[in-house]
């Protein structure tokens, strides 16, 4: 128990809160229904382009970020977020982290809806992966600005992670690749707008060069 407490204490507040919210929502949804039932998820806030555009149910662009199809879906997203989100929150602060996570997640869903509306190929979707990719995109930019490393993250590691995940998505069925790509791009753009590189002291800068 002490190890668990120490681990939780070492996590950043907003990221940990988002993870707890996702887990709480999942547990509630499992109690009242089945998170692997598409119709049930649709009734409770999953994204579906015809209803978002036709019935103007824009709230689904937000609610679907906190819904997951089954335990594996939840675990994969929250496991990645546990470590990636901490690094981003330490780099940009609580408010900017929330802006990148939520803003990137929402805009990722907008990209997905726009593509579906254009192709007329509709599906019910949910999950935090668009927001997680926004976190990855933001971290990639911050790592580049800081010449290759932030916290325990390196640019090569993040790009490789994003590339492998995207490749897996494009070679698998039932994955919203448009949301992944959109989240990554908008996360990077949010970081460009919101991140300010800490100034180095004279001692640090002279030592570096």
Catalytic residue, candidates 129, 172, 201, 205: 129
Q: What share of the chain is helix, strand, coil (3-state, %, to 5)?
A: 75, 5, 25
- Of 9, 165, 187, 13, nearest to 80 (Cα)? 165
**4 vs 25: CA distance, rounded Å:** 22
Cα-based distances in Å from 126 to 91, 95, 151? 28, 24, 30
Roughly how many angstroms between the first and final C-alpha of the chain, as a whole number?
45
The SS3 of residue 60 is helix
Catalytic residue, candidates 180, 201, 205, 206: 180
129 noted as active-site residue: yes
206 noted as active-site residue: no
Q: Could you count the other beta carbons within 10 Å of the beta carbon of residue 185?
A: 17
- Of 124, 196, 130, 126, nearest to 162 (Cα)? 130
**209 vs 194: CA distance, rounded Å:** 27
Residues classed as catalytic: 129, 180
């Amino acid at each position: 128990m002490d190890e668990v407490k120490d681990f939780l204490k070492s996590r950043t507040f907003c990221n940990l809160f988002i993870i707890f919210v996702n887990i709480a929502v999942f547990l509630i949804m499992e109690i009242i229904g089945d998170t692997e039932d598409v119709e049930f998820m649709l009734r409770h806030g999953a994204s579906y382009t015809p209803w978002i555009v036709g019935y103007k149910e824009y709230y689904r662009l937000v609610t679907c970020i906190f819904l997951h199809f089954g335990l594996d879906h939840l675990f994969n997203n929250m496991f990645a977020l546990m470590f990636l989100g901490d690094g981003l929150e330490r780099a940009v602060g609580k408010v900017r982290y929330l802006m990148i996570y939520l803003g990137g997640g929402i805009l990722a869903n907008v990209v997905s809806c726009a593509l579906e509306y254009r192709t007329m190929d509709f599906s019910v979707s949910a999950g935090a992966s668009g927001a997680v990719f926004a976190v990855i995109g933001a971290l990639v930019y911050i790592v580049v600005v800081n010449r290759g490393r932030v916290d325990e993250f390196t640019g090569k590691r993040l790009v490789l992670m994003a590339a492998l995940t995207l490749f897996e998505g494009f070679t698998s069925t039932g994955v919203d690749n448009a949301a992944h790509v959109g989240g990554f791009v908008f996360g990077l753009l949010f970081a460009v707008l919101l991140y300010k590189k800490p100034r180095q002291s004279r001692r640090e800068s002279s030592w570096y060069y």
